[in-house]
Amino acid sequence: MALDPAFVALLAQPGMQLAVPPPEVTPPVMREFAKMFLPGIAPPAIHSSQDMVIRDGNREAGVRLYRPDDRTPAPFILFFHGGGWVLCDLDSHDFLCRDLANTSGCAVIAVDYRLAPEVPFPGALDDCYLALQYFASHAKDYGLDAGRIAVCGDSAGGNLAAAVALKSRDQGGPALRHQALLCPVIDSTCSSASMQSNGTGFMLSREIMLWFWNCYLATPADASNPLASPAQANTLANLPPTSIATAEYDPLLDEAEFYADRLRAAGVTVTARRYLGMIHDFMTMPHITAMARRSIADIGADIAASMRA
């Protein structure tokens, strides 16, 4: 299918092709620049949202808890935002988290994990797993159901969701009902066919992905660690039911769909949807395409079904 006309117009605008920044443009400067691209529309109404800091010993993480209603105990989703492990925050994904809570009927806990390169791997993963452990242990304190937990993330957040699911499996919990990976980063090699065919001209580039990986990985050896690069996992057996959303014109298309194939081969129940005419992380762009909210509704329905199972 041809590229959606809305994205043809978007990508023709100055500054819409992501490139490796020059040395004088630091990650903090990039983060401020990225705030200019927040959706310029009112966010969906939500029953409540609350910012807080969770602590476990000398570790802490900022989170935002969304509730679609006042029922308790509520199933909940840990959400990890994208941005190449370098960019974005709770506000950049506020719209998406509200939609996810409303469509799934679950509370959503967005995690404000530490960013690279200031804090490289495994810093972000440690924060995300801390949030999973904390809310599983303190679920009753927040009116949540520790027996019904999912993880979800977009782009680099999808990488973190996949890594949290692997870590939860290998460390004996907390148990997950579902993992939802939205245009996820899966493979540190950036060597797939779609990395070549979609690697320039569609906003996210192969060049910037390699730069993001260089910011995230603390050492070259981390590239082969499955908790950094899930494509390196020896086995994907015994992972929770999985939803994977991909975009036709995303450099990450092939690695995400290959991961879906590997999950199925390992006996995991997988629902994979390729959204035609879309570019990377389109689900964060409701001001550009109606497909953004449709994709979150699809994911929300998948998670809701797993929570009922």
Q: Annotated active-site positions, please?
A: 155, 250, 280
| Closest by Cα among 217, 195, 197, 219 to 207 | 195
| Peptide bond between residue 122 and the one before it cis (omega within 30 degrees of 0) | yes
Residue-wise burial string across 236-269, b where 16 or more C-beta atoms lie within 10 A, e elsewhere: beebbbbbbbbbbbbbbbbbbbebbebbeeeebe
| Peptide bond between residue 73 and the one before it cis (omega within 30 degrees of 0) | yes
At 31, give phi and psi (nearest 5°): -65, -40
In angstroms, rounded to a whole number, what is the distance separating the alpha carbons of residues 266 and 56? 34
H or E, element range at 99: helix 94-104
Spatial contact of 178 and 303, defined as CB atoms under 8 Å apart: yes
